[in-house]
Amino acid sequence: MEDDKRQKINSLDSKIKELSKEKESIQGSCSHKTTKVKFETGTNTMKLYCAECDKEIGYPKKEQIDEFLG
Ligand SMILES: [Zn+2]
């Protein structure tokens, strides 16, 4: 039973690694032309992300925060 769990975790971990690599390569080839503001996952910190590839770009400017909070 425990071995099954271990095996499953290992297989999931290697899938996650593979998928993050794919994500990184997409983000690496993106020019981040359009951006959006959203809360960083699990926090209440506002960050600026690429609207296309979702890469974190930095912190939003005041105007962007104002627009986000609407
Ligand atoms: Zn991008």
What number is the average pLDDT over the span 46-68? Answer: 96
Give the DSSP letter string of 2-52.
Answer: HHHHHHHHHHHHHHHHHHHHHHHHHHHT----SEEEEEPTTSS-EEEEETT
Q: What is the pLDDT of residue 58?
A: 96
What one-character DSSP code corresponds to residue 55?
A: -
Give me ligand 1 centre to Cα 47, in Å.
14
Alpha-carbon distance of 3 to 19, in angstroms, equals 24
Share of the chain above pLDDT 90, in %: 96
Ligand 1 centroid to Cα of residue 46, in Å, is 17
pLDDT band at residue 2, thresholds of 50, 70 and 90? Answer: confident
User: What does 29-41 look like in DSSP terms, one character per residue?
Assistant: T----SEEEEEPT
Give the Å distance between the CA of 35 and the centre of ligand 1. Answer: 8
